[in-house]
Amino acid sequence: MAKQILVVDDDPHIREVVAFAVEKAGMGVVQASDGRQALEMAAKHKPDLLVLDISMPEMDGLEVCRTLRKSSDVPILLLSSRDEEIDRIIGLELGGDDYVTKPFSPRELVARINAILKRRNGPSASPADQPQKLSHGKVTIDAASYTALCNGKTVPLTATEFMLLLALFRSAERVFTRDELMDRAYGDITVADRTIDSHIRRVRQKFALHDIADVIETVHGIGYKLGTCA
């Protein structure tokens, strides 16, 4: 079944451009022109991913993202203008998976959508000698079911957050540079260092709610490694 994408933007021209590119790539599209309608459409259609503009009247994309993350882990690709860097970072902190800056290339947009959906579908099959379940300290992750557990309780992670954590778990003693983590989470698509940093902070915040303060350790001047998870 074709993936369904909810396109949210108050500019009808932008919606048409995105819808055309997405449909050309073989995916279905539903549209919303403002934040409130976006929440209604998300509840009604259960899309596989949202393409969400940050700057909208009444309820902006950041508020939509914040509201959705209270009850849903649906992937969110943010659209932002060049002068909205702080909003892009806030959007990632709120649980957005990625962002595209306007004006954008429809081809790049579709590539990023496909990359997010690929992460959403879970890691590729592991070799026979690579376990699906990995435990470290009080944390267990399951690559097969795409879940993370802390003391038996599920920690809700977005697709990108899970892929970052999985990379760290599979090489528990290794220190990863930002570029290496970008490659694990985004493949061939280039993203800014701040994007990875925002996802790392988001993962830490979620595990801190379960009293795990050191799930990911910063190695200054190099990058990140798995913490003790204690």
Q: Is 217 helix (H, G, I), strand (E, B) or coil?
A: strand
**Identity at 161, one-letter amino acid code:** E
> Between these two residues, 192 and 20, which has the higher pLDDT value?
20
> Between these two residues, 182 and 205, which has the higher pLDDT value?
205
Question: pLDDT digits over 86-129, tens only?
Answer: 777 888 888 898 889 898 999 999 999 998 888 777 655 444 45
* Domains of the chain by start residue, with CATH: 4-120 (3.40.50.2300), 133-226 (1.10.10.10)
pLDDT value at position 62?
93
Report percent pLDDT > 70 for the chain: 91
Please list, in sequence order, all residues whose beta carbon lies within 8 angstroms of the beta carbon of residue 13, skipping any fewer than 6 positions away. none
Average pLDDT, the chain: 88
pLDDT value at position 127?
47
What's the pTM value of the predicted model, to 2 decimals? Answer: 0.71
> Between these two residues, 124 and 151, which has the higher pLDDT value?
151
Question: What dihedral angle (degrees, nearest 10) is formed by the CA atoms of 83, 86, 88, 94?
Answer: -160
pLDDT value at position 204?
95
pLDDT value at position 175?
95
Alpha carbon distance 101, 104 (integer Å): 6
Whether 29 and 72 have beta carbons less than 8 Å apart is answered as no
Q: What is the mean pLDDT of residues 176-180?
A: 90
Grade residue 3 by pLDDT with cuts at 50, 70 and 90. Answer: very high
| Opening angle at CA 88, ends 221 and 208, nearest 5 | 60
Question: pLDDT digits over 35-51, tens only?
Answer: 999 999 999 999 999 99
